[in-house]
Amino acid sequence: MRALALRTENVLATTALAGIMLLPLAEIATRRFFETGIPGSAPFAQNLTLWVGMLGAAIAARDGKLLVLATGEFLPKNLAAFGHVIGAFVGAAIATIFAVGGWALVHTEREVGDLVALNVPVWMSVTVFPVAFALIAVRLVWRASPHWTGRAIAALGIAAGYWLTAHQEILEGAALWPWLTALVVAGVLGAPIFALLGGIAMFGFFIDGSRPVVPLIKAYAELTSPSANIAAIPLFTLTGFLLAEGKSSERLLRALRGLFGWAPGGTAVAAATLCAFFTLFTGGSGVTILALGGLLLPALLKEGYPERFSIGLLTASGSLGLLFPLSVPLILYGIVAQNVAIEDLFIGGLLPGLLMLGLVAALGVRQALRSGARRLPFSTTQMWAGLWEAKWELLLPVVVLTALLGGYATMSESAAIAALWALIVQRFIHRDLPRMRDVLRVAADSAGLVGGVLLILAVAVGLTNYLVNAQVPTNLLDWTQSHIHSRALFLLALNVFLLLVGTVMDIFSAIVVIVPLIIPLAEVYDINLVHLGVIFIANLELGYLHPPLGLNLLLASVRFQKPVLEVMWATLPMLGILALGVLLITYVPWLTLGILHWMGKVQ
């Protein structure tokens, strides 16, 4: 029975994913041959993206993968168990409030009868809100503790949340700071980030006398926005997950070693490049280390690279792809920043991305020369054989970028092409996914990751709206303008600030929360929005490696079974050289804007 329910959930999420992949492609095809196209293809795809996000969030809660602040890992064991229960209590309370708000939205939409398209009513689409948030609440309670006492305490969160929605007037006109403090403490103890952000928004709205349905109306508008290209996030992530399955990584590694293996440091360069290639799809760099660490570490050791260096290299490489075209964080930045073309971000990130990759590769070459790592004999036939074998994977970015930058397909359509391409290659050409059941598993896994991200996007719209109403960006602007008088100083302050943000927050939450606050500042200090995006992501890339809380350090420690401290020392040289890269990217805008300038896209 439980297995059936879980399966239904996976199948639903996968079907929605398939819908957002196939609808735009079918629309292109039918419009070519018949004038009409598919009625409602765009609004249906937008609403299915909402379903992928919300069902994915429920799956993430089920699998314990909701994004949390990186602080929980460092709590002492007793406190951690206690913190986990408190975090679950608060998370369940906030999720319950959102579920009640979602239910109210279903109710009003039923009365009004707005349509998505054809005869499909909006209320049917928004039903996913109360369902997903209720599931999240229940699952947070279930996972709160292995003991029933812990679960019972966490379950009180559901009751507390429900009680608050029935008595929200007690909050009207109250001060926000006690609630804010409580939420932040819960976040530090391990409450999911969505509860922290959504909770601040919700309490802010309650204090203004607004009902819990308001943030959900905003979330619905954001997640189904036709201009935001949100569908690109699940589709590119699915692409990355499909490629990470099976032997794609081995094929690519052979191809890259054929290309670079003969040169000093060739294998290190190949490893870093391969990591970058994977990260640009999966975005959350942790996936890269987990997926490729097992393949790349032995390869490096075999060639004679010291273990410590190899671990450092792989840990750092885990986030190298974030600046390259198709990177999910770049897309998310474009969505949140609004007035910037994602295509321009792709072009702008190219040189900075290559710079970061080059810096890490340079360390690899130096190490190879020092420790006399083995080189492969150069062989043209081997090189061609490797490239030929990996041709489908290597062609993917070429096809997608040609479609996108050539203006043949929109962002969402390009993402759909990428996902379909990866699916056909992995399922039917290489047969790395031998059964449809494997495809289902991979799709549900990727929906889980995407759900964590889109959940934060959904609740953060309410937060941003609240902050704007409370004039926080305006006040921040005034403060900054009166304290920071030069552009260079502002950039330095930005570097330091983002470094701190990057140590506690994952890249997606950081983008969603911080970007709307920073953009008015950037406009005042005359910083191009593409440049700002690249600075932002380069900085957060660094945050992954920064002691004490960098996410890559923790994941590498798990993957390579080494203490965090050791991984930290191993990564230090990389961190140093990448920090140099970030400074170059920040203070030499030409790196980002040069090509765009040359193309006439920026003045």
Residues that bind another protein (CB under 8 A): 31, 35-37, 39-40, 42-43, 104, 107-108, 111-112, 114-118, 210-211, 213-214, 217-218, 221, 225-227, 338-341, 343-344, 407, 410, 468, 601
Which is closer to another protein, CB of 152 or CB of 468?
468
Which is closer to another protein, CB of 309 or CB of 333?
333
Measured distance CA(275)–CA(359) in Å, rounded: 14
Which is closer to another protein, CB of 123 or CB of 194?
123
Sign, Cα dihedral of 18, 21, 23, 29:
negative
Smallest distance from the beta carbon of 305 to another protein, in angstroms? 42
Measured distance CA(195)–CA(15) in Å, rounded: 28
Which is closer to another protein, CB of 71 or CB of 225?
225
Structure tokens at 271: 């490893």
Measured distance CA(137)–CA(345) in Å, rounded: 37
Smallest distance from the beta carbon of 233 to another protein, in angstroms? 17
| Look-up of token digits 């950081």 | 510
| Look-up of token digits 């990448």 | 578
Smallest distance from the beta carbon of 410 to another protein, in angstroms? 7
Q: Per the omega criterion (within 30 degrees of 0), is the bond before 178 cis?
A: no
Smallest distance from the beta carbon of 536 to another protein, in angstroms? 19
Contacts 24+ apart (CB under 8 A), 469-474: 469/208, 470/204, 472/517, 473/516, 473/517, 473/520, 474/520
Question: Vertex 353, ends 348 and 359: CA angle to 5°?
Answer: 145
Instruction: Determine contact, residues 80/150, Cβ cutoff 8 Å.
Output: no
Which is closer to another protein, CB of 40 or CB of 240?
40
Smallest distance from the beta carbon of 416 to another protein, in angstroms? 15
According to DSSP H, which parts of 65-147 are helical?
Answer: 77-112, 122-126, 128-142
Question: Vertex 363, ends 503 and 250: CA angle to 5°?
Answer: 85
Smallest distance from the beta carbon of 40 to another protein, in angstroms? 5
Smallest distance from the beta carbon of 133 to another protein, in angstroms? 17
Which is closer to another protein, CB of 377 or CB of 406?
406
Smallest distance from the beta carbon of 466 to another protein, in angstroms? 12
Which is closer to another protein, CB of 388 or CB of 408?
408
Smallest distance from the beta carbon of 405 to another protein, in angstroms? 8
> How many other CB atoms are found less than 10 A from the CB of residue 594?
16
Smallest distance from the beta carbon of 27 to another protein, in angstroms? 10
Instruction: Determine contact, residues 253/291, Cβ cutoff 8 Å.
Output: no
Measured distance CA(515)–CA(529) in Å, rounded: 10
> How many other CB atoms are found less than 10 A from the CB of residue 177?
8
DSSP tag of 192: B
SS3 content of the chain, % helix, strand, coil (to 5): 80, 0, 20
Sign, Cα dihedral of 562, 564, 569, 573:
positive
Smallest distance from the beta carbon of 227 to another protein, in angstroms? 4
Smallest distance from the beta carbon of 525 to another protein, in angstroms? 20
Which is closer to another protein, CB of 42 or CB of 577?
42
Gyration radius (Cα) of the chain, Å = 24
Measured distance CA(333)–CA(153) in Å, rounded: 38
Q: End-to-end distance of the chain based on CA atoms, in angstroms?
A: 61
Measured distance CA(423)–CA(357) in Å, rounded: 28
Provide DSSP, 345-390. Answer: HHHHHHHHHHHHHHHHHHHHHHHHHHHT---PPP-HHHHHHHHHHT
Which is closer to another protein, CB of 59 or CB of 201?
201
Which is closer to another protein, CB of 123 or CB of 508?
123
Which is closer to another protein, CB of 162 or CB of 262?
162
User: 546: helix, coil or strand?
Assistant: coil
The upper half-sphere exposure of residue 513, i.e. CA atoms within 13 Å in the direction of its Cβ, equals 20
Instruction: Determine contact, residues 144/69, Cβ cutoff 8 Å.
Output: no
Which is closer to another protein, CB of 162 or CB of 587?
162
Which is closer to another protein, CB of 266 or CB of 348?
348
> How many other CB atoms are found less than 10 A from the CB of residue 37?
16
Partnered with residue 192 across adjacent β-strands are: 68
Smallest distance from the beta carbon of 221 to another protein, in angstroms? 5
Which is closer to another protein, CB of 115 or CB of 131?
115
Which is closer to another protein, CB of 123 or CB of 309?
123
Structure tokens at 304: 């004679």
Taking CA atoms, 295 is separated from 52, 202, 252, 414, in Å, by 31, 45, 11, 30
Smallest distance from the beta carbon of 344 to another protein, in angstroms? 7
Smallest distance from the beta carbon of 512 to another protein, in angstroms? 18
